[in-house]
């Protein structure tokens, strides 16, 4: 028994300490969006999997919002891509800092429409983990400069891919 204990202790001491950061990875929010096209023929037939919904007379496409998080020493890099109606999108990439366990925050220059004029404001993107495999993304309105129309830089729930 004593030998077993010593062997286990030695194996722990000689094995390099490695703890993967659970916040690293790719997370997806799979969804369906509509694309404005005049006819069913314009919708179908491509390799994008688009399909015509006769009831709503809309062209529907399967897409996925994506969050990619990488850790390099004590810093994180984050990339967030979201999709809105008619395939308008947001694309944000920056370094983020760990605010708390399961909470990253990225900040950069942005702008916001206030009283009929654009004003410089700080864009703040919060990535919060609900658990090790699920996160959400919230951003203030100054981050809309990273988005096309009908798109916003927020994800209610993305799952680890």
Does position 146 have pLDDT exceeding 80, yes or no? yes
8 A C-beta contact, residue 111 and residue 122:
no
8 A C-beta contact, residue 14 and residue 6:
no
Please state, as a whole number, how many other Cβ atoms lie within 10 Å of the Cβ of residue 128. 15
In sequence order, the β-bridge partners of residue 80 are: 67, 92
Model pLDDT for residues 51-109, shown as the tens digit of each residue: 999 999 999 999 999 999 999 888 999 999 999 999 999 999 999 999 999 999 999 99
Does position 3 have pLDDT exceeding 80, yes or no? no
What is the CATH architecture of 23-28+64-160? Beta Barrel (2.40)
CA-nearest of 35, 94, 91 to 63 is 35
pLDDT greater at residue 48 or residue 12? 48
8 A C-beta contact, residue 75 and residue 105:
no
């Amino acid at each position: 028994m004593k030998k077993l204990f010593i062997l286990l202790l030695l194996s722990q001491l000689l094995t390099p300490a490695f703890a993967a950061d659970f916040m690293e990875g790719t997370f997806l929010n799979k969804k369906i969006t509509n694309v404005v096209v005049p006819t069913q023929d314009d919708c179908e037939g491509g390799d994008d999997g688009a399909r015509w919904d006769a009831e709503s007379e809309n062209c529907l496409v399967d897409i996925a919002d994506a969050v990619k998080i990488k850790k390099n020493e004590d810093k994180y890099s984050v990339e967030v891509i979201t999709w809105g109606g008619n395939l308008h999108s947001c694309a944000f990439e920056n370094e983020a800092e760990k605010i708390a366990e399961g909470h990253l925050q990225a900040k950069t220059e942005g702008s916001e429409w206030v009283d009929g004029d654009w004003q410089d404001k700080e864009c703040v993107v919060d990535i919060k983990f609900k658990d090790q495999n699920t996160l959400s993304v919230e951003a203030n309105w100054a981050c809309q400069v990273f988005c096309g129309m009908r798109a916003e830089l927020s994800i209610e729930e993305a799952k680890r891919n």
